[in-house]
Amino acid sequence: MDVKTQSLGDIAPSSAIAAEDRAAPRREGWGSFVWFLIKLLALVLAFRTVVFSPFSIPTESMVPRLMNGDYLLAAKWPYGISRHSLPFDLPLAEGRILPAAPQRGDIVIFKHPVDRRDYIKRVIGLPGDSVAMVGGQVVLNGKRVPRMPADDVLIAQSPNTGCAWGGDLEQRADGSTVCRYAAFRETLSDGRSYTVLDFGTTQADSFAPVTVPAGTMFVMGDNRDNSRDSRFPAAAGDGVGMVPQDLLVARATIIVWSTDGSAEWLLPWTWFSAARWDRIGDSL
């Protein structure tokens, strides 16, 4: 029987080739993973720019429809895409791609005309509309927007929800506290209706007719006596005046999470006990 032998010199090159063969997939694997992350980042950016983006509600200006502690998804495409649709408000060209006007009654997210922070309000007036208020009732194009008394709104008290000056605190049998607000159902001419709160006569409850300029919109909060909106001149951290439609960011669509603010990060079970389960999934 012939036995073939190999010297160490003969073996070394084949071992080196094997080592290179083992290293090649590793290098290829890392490259593929990095490329996957780049594509994933691009997909997420495109989704947030064109489709949906998450927003949180930090105030009570839209109570009872939206409450402090609500987290919602907002649709980016209904009004067109602009620099304000992009994360971090990147300094791109002004204007919008495929622009579209909002509808009366839409709940819109927009950039404040002065400080460029995100605000959320309901659209009441569009370009050419005449908007006034008489005794707390909206007058649109010379006609009073119908407003009927509705069932009182009861809001449980929590770290995220206090009781404003127009509410009445009540103690429940289980020891919890709620705030009772007088509410009204307001109905626009196209049939869209929504609940608003009115605490009584305030300075902003009556004003003479104003015409909404071209390219802008007149917005109001549903919590009428706790909202700095188009009834007030635009000022940083305050009223918004007539809002240019080019500052539109998105249309509020659905509440995906809501918390009363009582959760503690180190106590995971409180994440669930703090959830307002009855609000999650509400379309807007």
Cα–Cα distance between 120 and 248 in angstroms, integer? 10
Cα–Cα distance between 184 and 165 in angstroms, integer? 17
Annotated catalytic residues are: 61, 121
Please name the fold of domain 51-273.
Answer: Umud Fragment, subunit A (2.10.109)
Q: If the chain, 284 residues long, is cut into consecutive pieces of 10 residues, what is the mean pLDDT of each piece?
A: 44 47 56 74 64 86 96 90 69 74 96 94 98 96 96 94 90 90 95 93 92 97 95 96 94 96 92 95 94
Q: Is 163 helix (H, G, I), strand (E, B) or coil?
A: coil
Residue 107 near residue 222, CB atoms below 8 Å:
no
Segments making up each domain of the chain, as ranges = 51-273
The pTM for the full model equals 0.81
Q: What is the pLDDT of residues 254-265, one digit of tens each?
A: 999 999 999 998
Both tokens assigned to 31: 């490259």
Q: In the 8-state DSSP scheme, what is residue 86?
A: S
